[in-house]
Structure 1
Amino acid sequence: MAYPVMFNPFFLLMSLSILLIHLTLYQAVNGGFSVNLIRTKSTNAHSQRVMGTTYTNSYAYLGQHLLELSIGTPPVKIYGILDTGSDLIWAQCVPCPNCFKQLKPLFDPKKSSTYKNISCQSDKCHQVYTGACSPENMCDYSYGYADSSVSHGILASETITLKSSEGKPVQLSDITFGCGHNNSGTFNDHEMGIIGISKAPTSLVSQIGGNKFSQCLVPFHTDTSIASKMSFGKGSEVVGDGVISIPLVNGISGSSYSNLYFVTLLGMSVEDTRFDISNNPETIRKGNMLIDSGTPPTVLHQKLYDEVFNEVRKQVPMNPITDDPDLGTQLCYKTSTNLKGPMITMHLEGGDIHLSPIQTFIPPKDGVFCLGFSNTSNEDIGTIGNFAQGNFLMGYDLEKNVVSFKPTDCTK
């Protein structure tokens, strides 16, 4: 969610969809752990207007993966967007004079025996890019996102509780998180905050103590009874036949992008028709694509987007929908079955990632499939969104500084 992009209203609407995802945690090989992402449809009325996508642990609003965890003692359930595109864990807290509406009760730090404010002199305060000092000597934070969403509040430490597969609570103590007292943006009423899983010391991944994690997200329109999976630590390595390991490129030091996951896109192909970003690979900006689980569509700079859009339209032997204002300018088709569109290849530095129609065409409503790409005027950075990440076992190895893709049926 951290990267500034220009979304078509169609994809902004999708962020309102809801699925409830329950977390189960079990011990993986060599001491790591994994979570099953069990999705159940929400009864919220918004879910009738958008498509439901695959998510992580908790809720999932169309296109957003929501992680379920509990904060405090006694534990209070929190459902936050799982986001590789940001650094901070935060949730809405009492008092909340200027907050977005949420259906579940706000977290009240006064009711938790393990809540502790972090002082502005603490090293932990300096780990937050926008950490500052309040008049009460507490660490104020202000964290903004690409869609102009913002969270303001106090940095604190708390106990986070996960539920094991045996039903026993698994507690992680002294976890740094933002207690948000002033939050606004494009959130819906089932979302309660954001769970950042970047490389930053304040992210969930870093605070768990791991430098490896993997995910296997089921495709967008998979039956909601089928779980996605995510693993942390040892045992989460992605190995075997068919693995493509792509070098991660460090973000700009000292910026809000410094801890995010960037790769280098050289060009894209629609079947055998290739579009290169530049005729001279040496002039391509390194790290020009952000891997972001908090952004649903794949976002391309305008020229490349137009080339891919036009070539897909040329290769799909159907007439696109042109008379539905709800779909905006998206490339959409009416069909009663999954769209048989072209294979789209992302040529990344380190290897090629092949995207089938199940990863590139998304059904916003019954009988309609739309190309799951969007565009940005920023020619320096695009985004590989979570639609395209479906049916890949993706492993992040922060020791080797690579992200590995393995084509996998994530429904099994």
Structure 2
Amino acid sequence: MAWGACIAALLLLLLAATGGNGNGGVHCLEEGSRSRSRRALQGRHHLRSRAVGGATVLELRHHSFSSAPSKSREEEADALLSSDAARVASLQRRIESYRLIGNDAAAVAASKAQVPVTSGAKLRTLNYVATVGLGGGEATVIVDTASELTWVQCAPCESCHDQQDPLFDPTSSPSYAAVPCNSSSCDALRVAAGMSGPAAACGGDQPAACGYTLSYRDGSYSRGVLARDELSLAGEAIDGFVFGCGTSNQGAPFGGTSGLMGLGRSQLSLVSQTMDQFGGVFSYCLPLKESDSSGSLVLGDDSSVYRNSTPIVYASMVSDPLQGPFYFLNLTGITVGGQEVESSGFSAGKAPAFSILDTCFNMTGFREVQVPSLKLVFDGGVEVEVDSSGVLYFVSSDSSQVCLAMAALGSEYETSIIGNYQQKNLRVIFDTSASQVGFAQEACGYI
């Protein structure tokens, strides 16, 4: 395993490409589920949100949605890890595109106009979702820290993926308004998408409206127009929230959700648009179990609502104007059982490799196994210990193939990524104003 390639700038990602039952995933992140009405929602899924002190708390739950026939554990694991690998490949290309722009001196002045939008959301059957209010209704959205724009499916829909709840109907909301082409929001979209010309994001049947297109690596996509409406987060109203009203959206990865919440570092993300309300600070805590449990997404800097059992330690974000919507930290080391991961001994697995995981073991016959501690080390000596459940990935139910839940990078030029599998039972705090990310141990449950 190319352990040395893991020591580099780290991309901290909240949305995951992986899913699975109990033991699935390596690289990325996701969010919870929703029902057909507020009463059914609260009664069946218990998706709740509320204001607590100076913070707004949203419940995060896993969301499973798949029309595919049931598969064996091995088949499901292979599909999920393949999906994870595709997600990572997409992100690596996005990161490299920003670097290429930065390396071209002639393009620096015009770099904002050349940044492509390829939202990396690569979801399969399991995601974390949160429910928000929009235009008087509700929407269950996948939460993604690598996406610039929040979007939902809108009626009338030309071509839409199947979702559990009714489509958002702009005509039913008196506060809905399309964003025109000559607006600053449309300009921000062009910057993010790398479009050029005054009408690059406009045209079609609604020439006065600002159109958008988000393309995903697996062929999934969302197309529609930018719009404004009232967003409600636990009773906190955000007037004139800019989002994508998608009338053509396809892709099995979206499952039965209404769309996607963008928490990336961009002018149109929810983080930026709610700066006055929440100060550019949000955090989440992801539970260990995929069913009968839920975590929390906290908006705002009121740490009194956390339930962390260890002090919060902060690592500085990498300051790079060309990093796009991503959150980067400087990863200086990884230790497993107290040993640096460069050690060649870690690659001596006792079972065949599986998909992108190449350090695997056969644990059949063992009544008890001691899981080694896995720590991530950041600039300044900041150490973050991964929960024991995020160290090993059980490919087979009989434990004949158990792999270290880390995958090697393709080359030393790629960027390391930490995802949801290693972030469970951690309170992860994104403070964009102070340009830092905090970590603390926390038994994750809805608070």
Question: What TM-score, normalized by structure 1, do the two folds share?
Answer: 0.70
The one-letter code matched in structure 1 to 2:410 is S
1:349 is aligned to 2:358: no
1:311 is aligned to 2:346: yes
Aligned partner of residue 271 in structure 2, secondary structure: helix
Alignment of 1:113-262 (within 5 A): 113-128=174-189, 129-130=192-193, 132-135=201-204, 136-145=207-216, 147=218, 149-162=220-233, 164=234, 170-209=236-275, 210=278, 211-219=280-288, 222=289, 224-236=291-303, 241-253=310-322, 257-262=323-328
Q: Does the CA contact (< 8 Å) of 1:218 and 1:228 recur in 2?
A: yes
CA 1:234/1:100 → structure 2, altered by over 3 Å: closer, same or farther?
Answer: same
CA 1:377/1:82 → structure 2, altered by over 3 Å: closer, same or farther?
Answer: same
Q: Does the CA contact (< 8 Å) of 1:212 and 1:236 recur in 2?
A: no
The one-letter code matched in structure 2 to 1:138 is A
Q: Distance in 1 between matches of 2:157 and 2:325?
A: 29
Aligned to 1:25: 49
Q: Does the CA contact (< 8 Å) of 1:67 and 1:80 recur in 2?
A: yes
CA 1:188/1:259 → structure 2, altered by over 3 Å: closer, same or farther?
Answer: closer
CA 1:250/1:182 → structure 2, altered by over 3 Å: closer, same or farther?
Answer: farther
Q: Does the CA contact (< 8 Å) of 2:142 and 2:261 recur in 1?
A: yes
The one-letter code matched in structure 2 to 1:358 is S
Q: Distance in 1 between matches of 2:367 and 2:291?
A: 18
The one-letter code matched in structure 2 to 1:243 is I
- Equivalent position to 2:140, from 63, 68, 79: 79
How far apart are residue 213 of structure 1 and its match? 1.4
How far apart are residue 353 of structure 1 and its match? 2.0
1:102 is aligned to 2:163: yes
How far apart are residue 230 of structure 1 and its match? 1.9
Aligned to 1:407: 441
Bigger helix share: 2
How far apart are residue 223 of structure 1 and its match? 6.4
CA 1:193/1:374 → structure 2, altered by over 3 Å: closer, same or farther?
Answer: farther
Bigger strand share: 1
Q: Does the CA contact (< 8 Å) of 1:79 and 1:192 recur in 2?
A: yes
CA 1:106/1:344 → structure 2, altered by over 3 Å: closer, same or farther?
Answer: same
CA 1:313/1:83 → structure 2, altered by over 3 Å: closer, same or farther?
Answer: farther
Q: Does the CA contact (< 8 Å) of 2:214 and 2:222 recur in 1?
A: yes
The one-letter code matched in structure 2 to 1:342 is P
Gapped regions of structure 1 (runs ≥ 5)? 53-59, 277-306
How far apart are residue 149 of structure 1 and its match? 3.8
The one-letter code matched in structure 1 to 2:253 is F
How far apart are residue 197 of structure 1 and its match? 0.9
The one-letter code matched in structure 2 to 1:372 is A
The one-letter code matched in structure 2 to 1:153 is G
Aligned partner of residue 127 in structure 1, secondary structure: helix
Q: Does the CA contact (< 8 Å) of 1:83 and 1:197 recur in 2?
A: yes
Aligned partner of residue 137 in structure 1, secondary structure: strand
Question: What TM-score, normalized by structure 2, do the two folds share?
Answer: 0.66
Q: Distance in 2 between matches of 1:270 and 1:112?
A: 53
Alignment of 1:323-338 (within 5 A): 328=355, 330=357, 331=360
Aligned partner of residue 353 in structure 1, secondary structure: strand
Aligned partner of residue 47 in structure 2, secondary structure: strand
Question: What's the CA shift string for 1:330-388, capped at 9, x where partnerless?
Answer: 33656698963322222222322222431222456745554333344363322110111
Aligned partner of residue 243 in structure 2, secondary structure: strand
> Which runs of at least 4 in structure 1 moved beyond 4 Å after TM superposition?
5-12, 14-22, 41-52, 60-63, 145-148, 237-241, 332-339, 363-370
1:34 is aligned to 2:57: yes
The one-letter code matched in structure 2 to 1:92 is Q
How far apart are residue 179 of structure 1 and its match? 1.1
How far apart are residue 154 of structure 1 and its match? 0.6
Aligned partner of residue 205 in structure 1, secondary structure: helix
CA 1:126/1:208 → structure 2, altered by over 3 Å: closer, same or farther?
Answer: same
Gapped regions of structure 2 (runs ≥ 5)? 1-10, 35-44, 81-122, 196-200
Q: Distance in 1 between matches of 2:134 and 2:19?
A: 35
Q: Distance in 2 between matches of 1:376 and 1:183?
A: 31
Aligned to 2:333: 267
Question: What's the CA shift string for 1:178-223, capped at 9, x where partnerless?
Answer: 012333445243133210112323222222332111211112xx26
Q: Distance in 2 between matches of 1:6 and 1:26?
A: 28
Aligned to 1:70: 133
Aligned partner of residue 23 in structure 1, secondary structure: coil
Q: Distance in 2 between matches of 1:399 and 1:370?
A: 38
The one-letter code matched in structure 2 to 1:86 is S
Question: What's the CA shift string for 1:90-134, capped at 9, x where partnerless?
Answer: 112234334434344332323333221001111111222127222
Aligned partner of residue 147 in structure 2, secondary structure: coil
Q: Distance in 1 between matches of 2:369 and 2:445?
A: 19
Q: Does the CA contact (< 8 Å) of 2:228 and 2:242 recur in 1?
A: yes
Q: Distance in 1 between matches of 2:361 and 2:154?
A: 41
Q: Does the CA contact (< 8 Å) of 2:371 and 2:388 recur in 1?
A: yes
CA 1:46/1:160 → structure 2, altered by over 3 Å: closer, same or farther?
Answer: farther
How far apart are residue 392 of structure 1 and its match? 1.0
Q: Report the identity percentage.
A: 23
CA 1:27/1:105 → structure 2, altered by over 3 Å: closer, same or farther?
Answer: closer
Q: Does the CA contact (< 8 Å) of 2:64 and 2:255 recur in 1?
A: no
How far apart are residue 8 of structure 1 and its match? 12
Q: Does the CA contact (< 8 Å) of 1:7 and 1:375 recur in 2?
A: no
Aligned to 1:389: 423
CA 1:313/1:159 → structure 2, altered by over 3 Å: closer, same or farther?
Answer: farther
